[in-house]
Amino acid sequence: MSRVADTIRTRNDEASGALIGYLPVGFPSLDTSVDAAVALVENGVDIVELGLPYSDPVMDGLTIQRATQTALRNGFRLRHGFEAVERIRARVDAPLLVMTYWNPVLQYGVERFATDLQNAGGAGLITPDLIPDEAAEWMSASQHHDLDRVFLAAPSSSDERMKQAVEASRGFVYAVSTMGITGARDDVDKAARSVVSRLRDAGSTSACVGLGISTPEQVADVLSYADGAIVGSRLVAALEHGGVAEVAKVASELASGTRR
């Protein structure tokens, strides 16, 4: 069984839904990124999404790009991702998903990556640039190592692509609320409701919305129709400007949006 799906189901029973928080590994340092991820969980985040810094982050907005480029300049290596997962899991029990572009996994070796992620205690991968019909090797490795696989669905996705995302995903389907790149916005795109509705029609029982969520009110709004709300840029900006203490404060504020 998927710990991610179980957590989302439990939080929908207990509260309005699940809060998922994103932070990049290695920003501003490896130690601080571990402390910040722990602070997320200690302040109400249910599932942590750990981003692996990459040299060509085509889907990331300026806040996350700036953070990941800092991590790379400071010496981030892929092995640090597994180290971070292991260190965080030693301190908190929340599921940890790794968000990564597909090329680093290919370069590392898909089977080797899956083995090392499982051994570190990771729950699975979010792969924004991998589509299900090109994911046979990852599907096999994730199945063998009991890892979740989260695929994306966007407003532009065809009905067939929606169905593929639902059938291939384990944990949840990542419903992209806006076209383009990540970044906090004043209003979450109304297209998110349509994406989640179409995922439901395709058979999804676990759909979480990301891109553009930055306030407790937006979290609450998203959880009125989706199973989880994913926050990234707002938390990365908090870490950039106020350190771990600010991350903890913002996480606690965002978590208030899950209360019925």
Write out pLDDT tens, residues 130-170. Answer: 999 999 999 999 999 999 999 999 999 999 999 999 999 99
The pLDDT assigned to 162 comes to: 96
- The letter for the amino acid at 161 is R
Establish whether the linkage from the previous residue to 53 is cis, with ω within 30° of 0. Answer: no
CB within 8 A of 155, min separation 6: which ones? 176, 178, 179, 189, 191, 194, 195
Catalytic positions, written as ranges: 49, 60
Average pLDDT on 50-55 reads 94
pLDDT band at 182 (very low <50, low <70, confident <90, very high): low
Q: What is the pLDDT of residue 55?
A: 85
Number of folded domains that form the chain: 1
176 pLDDT above the threshold of 80: yes
**Which residues span the domain enclosing 176?**
3-258
Question: Rounded to an integer, what is the distance from CA 159 to the centroid of its chain?
Answer: 23
Higher pLDDT, 260 or 78: 78
CATH number at residue 181: 3.20.20.70
Whether residue 42 has pLDDT greater than 70: yes
The pLDDT assigned to 191 comes to: 84
Q: Return the pLDDT at 58.
A: 66
